[in-house]
Amino acid sequence: MRLDKYLKVSRLIKRRTVANEITSQGKIFINNKSAKPSTTVKEGDQLKLEYQNKTVIVEIIKVPTGNVSIQESKDLYKLIQEINKTTIEQ
């Protein structure tokens, strides 16, 4: 499955167009390598997403063949780490 579609189906990112834009900007990594929207994801891959002042690292547990329900989407990945970045105004 394409990376941009996986991000949408797993609901890590709400819309596929947004997933495509963020990936094109080089803010998504698969196994510590910058990824393109068309990159194929597989089970066991580690995704690092840098967006909206936070970094999220997840491991892909399952790659679905089509769309899934909201309840099932949480079973597609395992959260490894989430880092919130705060900006300090001076």
Q: Is the pLDDT of residue 88 over 50?
A: no
The three-state secondary structure class of 84 is: strand
Which pLDDT value is given to residue 31?
A: 96
Distances (CA, A) of 2 to 14, 74, 90: 15, 18, 42
pTM as predicted: 0.87
29-85 confidence digits (pLDDT tens): 999 999 999 999 999 999 999 988 899 999 999 999 888 998 999 899 999 999 987
12-42 confidence digits (pLDDT tens): 999 999 999 999 999 999 999 999 999 999 9
Architecture of domain 3-84: Roll (3.10)
